[in-house]
Structure 1
């Protein structure tokens, strides 16, 4: 296993500690998928004192759970099997209440307010990299390792966060809220791999039962990607109908409930009028879905809050005119040139060099350096 480039000094083991692997305890967060299983097996093969932990995040018998979802019953079984085969201890921790309060409830409330939330980021921020990380310290682990595709590299004064070597697998958008303190403790052994095929090849080399297990595609507690069905279950009566209003004030008809729509949506609006209409705004308080032409989706100014900054100097001590960076406003889009103008340590206005469409409250705006590699942090897009 290549050494973490943040800790590849002479005399250090591959995880960056000046002692043998056998004396280095590492907690591995195991979801039951191939990625985290390979991390655990890799470190166990190297001789590290590995402790595997899988989180039970919700009631697997409830309607919200689904077969094949992250941390569902089958996944706990698979993680346990990997630990047995590789000869290290494995524990299942009940985090249902924490997950409900820190992730699911906010997801439901944000969706009802007309935002497009990303619960996976909140899960990393509030559950895995906060609560589980503290558990790792309680177990006297030297570090915690995960199967995320992102790289931890050495910097001038501290560890840096960089995009994965494989752009197709890069998960930096979902990890922007990782703090410097957390980054110092975390390890990401898969970030240097060039493709998922390499990961599966390692799984076969280790003889893992999950070598050919499909990747999870949806949010773990959202069956078949049906957000509206989950919201209706969590918040009965949430799908109240309302009006579809054109930007110019025309009433175009009735909608089935704001929770069924997202910014940028075109299909399924159920209104005519010749020109194609797109959802440009959601007004949950008035129960209105506002539509307009595609051109109305373009924005260049983005208000951002809850900023986590990983730069070398304080966020508010940037150059005159603002930070020149690249940003991602959707996980599937490449970084684009932008200027960040700090308002406070945790709020800013981001100006895109070229306007983009479909920017929605509740999504993340993630900051990168100008070559698009190093993650400088990010924040949450809000309505302003």
Structure 2
């Protein structure tokens, strides 16, 4: 295998010998130290054999001494292949430029891969890395991976760890997201649980403090449900006076039936787009983050227009995206005109929006029933949602002493 590779690099020539005694040429080549192999007899007076490119000339001269006619039957090898381009200067220049481009471009970062992120968007990480100097087209040996990693982590508190590794033209960024801190309840803060909405109490789960209401009671928003002031009674059957009061942090969950009213409005006349038929197209290419416009004008073509973009990205067979994209932007001109809305469609849209707003207000609660009413007045469609819900209405409110301490701190 090694001999074949060596012969392919230095070149080989296939010689055809014809004479009375062609074997005499083989003996002379052996005496002169000319390497030959693959001898093939074509007849009693003809044979072929292979010699090196350097020994071909000497073997032909020895053929005359052996009274034989020696002709070249073929040649192969790297040098022979390159000799075909001796007068093809354009191909030689292209080959030289290609080799130079490979050697030069291999020193630049072409792709950046981010791995390990789940909640932090990749675009956010890439934007911060670009701000720190890591972007497609940057000179790889000139990068300080440790400095880039440290500065990026300071600007991205959502990440707890980052590693930047360079593999030729590819930069691999491994990240680990930070674990969110659990919500810490200040046990030293005293206060009460009050109602954030009016309703009828359906369930009480008091964990700390004194309950002021019971199941079936009607409460209004802002009313105290669980007090943080606990009265300490004297021991039973004793003549001692009460021990006074103790301020604690009231805790508990209070569930109630609530009734909510939400109102939404929408004009019955809207402005729509009417396309004029005028269009302009702009073609551009983005190479290593730099945009080049090669056809059309990238300026503002019309006073009112829609821009439709389509991007083609160069992707290798393995799915690796390269920093080369071609983009087509189509600008379609339009004018505005007044148009009447379908009342049924507008009402349905408002009802869906109000229901979504109601679910966000209730949170983990349950919407028991809903009732919608719609009224058209002065060009407006007004939809009112009245709903009965079951929800947790308690919220903690610190007392005055706790608020003063927080203000002082």
TMscore range, shorter length: under 0.3
Tell me which protein shows more strand as a share of its residues.
2
TM-score by length of 2: 0.16
Greater RCO (CA < 8 Å, at least 6 residues apart): 1
TM-score by length of 1: 0.17
